[in-house]
Amino acid sequence: MKGPAIFLAQFAGSKAPFNSLENMAKWAADLGYVGIQVPTDPALFDLVLAADSQDYCDEIAGTIGQYGLEITELSTHLQGQLLAVHPAYEAMFAGFAAPEVRDDPAKWPQWATSQLIAAAKASQRLGLTAHATFSGALLWHTMYPWPQRSAGLVEEGFKELARRWQPILDVFDENGVACCYEIHPGEDLHDGVSFERFLAAVDNHPAANILYDPSHFLLQQLDYVQFIEHYHERIKAFHVKDAEFRANGRSGIYGGYQSWIDRPGRFRSPGDGQIDFKQIFSKFAQYDYQGWAVLEWECCLKHPEDGAREGALFIRDHMIRVTDKAFDDFAGSQGDADRNKKILGIE
């Protein structure tokens, strides 16, 4: 495991040090981070140029590197979302689209496809092996349906989602980059079973992988440690984000349309919620996870700069250097067939 790293999306803004990639890199390094996950926001990173220009990618890497940092992954969460948007959500997602296509939802999937293909190529130029994104959603409005879903609806939805993603996944595969879907409510890939449905629909495509974020699993009441047991071979990216679920008699998992601070389930800064990160980091150590541990700060209480400052040490303290020997090696002895038979009491 590599880290600590931090996702810059929640911190980017118009005021220094959050107004440029270089300023944010210096800020992150000063907090003790060694990696940054970079949103492909045009204000921070020119994705189209990066896909075509090795010189630009080398310049970006050099700018980051002077502060002792690496880029962990690029992020196209917003573009991935626009690859599949049900018409009911068009007004809400319009702000994710580039100005030239914002008022024409029919053009969003084509624009998103070009952005994701650019992200695969840019990632390769930067020497990255994983990428962070969302799957988009055609079925989310049927998640808790009334009336019930019609027969074949789910299968048709995943068939169409796979059709849109297949050529993109092919480009990621050609560039040696894992396309990591953040498994997230609001996306059609929101738990293990939905990821399995998608994986089957894309014929177990090698580029289709997972960005693991336990906060979304706790709020769904899903066993986030067992999730690693099931899908560790496909987990290529990791968001360190905490959450808590405080059951009460007035609202539950869906939150009663309340603000984040009043919901039973809410995100917290690492260490302030209920997630057992010791178990998570231990499980990743068990399976020799090779990716980055990236803080994603989202908290309804704590100031973001405090969360960022505390997050670097939190991740560093939880990372496990995997042992290269067994603890009881000192009491071991060389194997011998005759001796083993004697120990077993057989001739």
In this predicted model, what pLDDT tens digit does every residue of 192-232 receive, in sequence order?
999 999 999 999 999 999 999 999 999 999 999 999 999 99
Query: How far from each other are the two terminal CA atoms of the chain, in whole angstroms?
Result: 47
| The pLDDT of residue 82 | 98
Q: List 36's β-bridge partners, or say none.
A: 6, 71
Phi-psi region of 204 (alpha: psi -120 to 50; beta: other; left: phi over 0): left
For the record, the structure tokens of 22 come out as 């270089």
Angle, vertex CA 92, rays to CA 90 and CA 97, nearest 5: 70
**Concatenated DSSP letters for 132-181?**
EE---BSSGGGSS-SSPPPTTHHHHHHHHHHHHHHHHHHHHHHTT-EEEE
Q: What is the pLDDT of residue 126?
A: 98
Phi/psi of residue 175, each to 5°? -100, 5
Spatial separation of the C-alpha atoms in residues 113 and 98, rounded to whole Å: 13
Question: Can the peptide bond before residue 17 be classed as cis, meaning omega within 30 degrees of 0?
Answer: yes
Kindly give the pairing relationship between strand 235-240 and strand 242-245: unpaired
Looking only at the bridges linking them, the beta strands covering 2-7 and 70-76 are unpaired
pLDDT at 59: 98
Sign, Cα dihedral of 277, 280, 282, 284? negative
pLDDT tens figures, 113-167? 999 999 999 999 999 999 999 999 999 999 999 999 999 999 999 999 999 999 9
Helices (H), ranges, the chain: 21-30, 47-52, 54-65, 77-82, 90-93, 108-125, 153-174, 192-201, 214-219, 224-231, 277-286, 304-318, 337-344
Alpha-carbon span 306 to 272, nearest angstrom: 12
Q: What is the DSSP string of 282-315?
A: HHHHHTT--SEEEE----SSS-HHHHHHHHHHHH
pLDDT in tens, 227-274: 999 999 999 999 999 999 999 999 999 999 999 999 999 999 999 999
Rounded CA-CA distance 38/237 in Å is 13
Tokens 């992200």 belong to which residue? 119
Percent above pLDDT 70 for the chain: 100
Q: Specify whether the CB–CB gap between 37 and 308 falls below 8 A.
A: no
Whole-number Å distance between alpha carbons of 90 and 216: 23
Task: Output the average pLDDT for the chain.
Answer: 96
Closest CA to 164 of 123, 209, 213, 208: 208
Is residue 320 within 8 A of residue 283, CB to CB? The reply is no
For the chain, what are the domain ranges? Answer: 2-344
Judge whether 145 and 157 are in contact, CB under 8 Å.
Answer: no
Contact 63, 126 (CB under 8 A): no
C-alpha to C-alpha distance for 79 and 237, rounded to whole angstroms: 18
Dihedral-angle region of residue 278 (phi above 0 means left; psi in -120 to 50 means alpha; beta otherwise): alpha
Using pLDDT thresholds of 50, 70 and 90, give the confidence band for residue 328: confident
What's the mean pLDDT in 322-326? 84
The architecture that CATH gives domain 2-344 is Alpha-Beta Barrel (3.20)
pLDDT of residue 154: 98
* Radius of gyration of the chain measured on its C-alpha atoms: 22
Distance CA 174, CA 70 (A): 23
